[in-house]
């Protein structure tokens, strides 16, 4: 789901998702290279360990969702 935000029309949402993905994965793919992110996730999803706690993941992801919702009403 988070990778899908890389295609968001709002640059703030897109940048937030990209920075978050880079931070938790250690990868540095372009914010516009959604296919590369999907490919990487497909190859690593079964063995990937998040570097942050589940609570932090939820909190950060909620911020992205809130930003997305906020921008829909502007």
Count of domains observed in the chain:
1
Q: Identify the segments of the chain with pLDDT beneath 70.
A: 52-54, 57-58, 74
pLDDT for the residue numbered 34: 95
Q: What are phi and psi of 11, to 5 degrees?
A: -65, -35
pTM (2 d.p.): 0.72
Domain span at residue 56?
A: 2-72
53 Cα distance to chain centroid: 16
pLDDT for the residue numbered 30: 93
Angle between helices 11-25 and 54-72 (to 10 degrees): 170
């Amino acid at each position: 789901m988070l990778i899908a935000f890389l295609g968001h029309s709002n640059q703030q949402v897109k940048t937030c998702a990209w920075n978050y993905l880079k931070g938790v994965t250690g990868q540095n793919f372009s914010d516009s290279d959604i296919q590369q992110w999907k490919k990487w996730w497909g190859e690593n999803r079964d063995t990937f360990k998040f570097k942050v706690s589940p609570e932090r993941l939820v909190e950060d992801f909620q911020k992205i969702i809130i930003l997305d919702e906020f921008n829909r009403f502007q």
